[in-house]
A = this chain, B = another copy of it.
Amino acid sequence: MNPLSIPLTKGNTDRPDAEFFHSYEKKFKALADKKRLEILYLITNSTSVCVCDLSETIDMQQSKLSYHLKILLDANLITKETKGTWSYYQINQKEMNGLLSNQLCCIFRTEDSTCC
């Protein structure tokens, strides 16, 4: 047995449940790709972007881009607004700021006026 054993939270009712860990897994999975991080950077640093704008700026074919945008959207890290044939994407500030440190401003998140 471990000689320096410190009791862990086994059976602790305050311990987050499986659903809690699963919800964060989804968010971090969405962040766990350098192309999606680059997309987030671009979306963060512009008010509203369509797929065609992104497709030009980062070298990526359209179907691939839509695939990655859907992952970010499903994780609720970005939002979408459709105008005619165009889909405009925005950062979900509340979600991103609640997830990432202020140190990551203004790369993957925005300024936090309520802090410091």
Contacts and interface: CB of A to CB of B under 8 A. Distances in A.
Interface residues of A, number: 53
B100 A57 contact: no
A102 interface: yes
A103 interface: yes
Interface of A: 1-6, 8-10, 15-16, 18, 21-22, 24-25, 28-29, 31-35, 37-38, 41-42, 45-50, 52-54, 56-57, 83, 86, 88, 97-104, 107-108, 115-116
B103 A98 contact: yes
B50 A16 contact: no
A77 B17 CA distance: 22
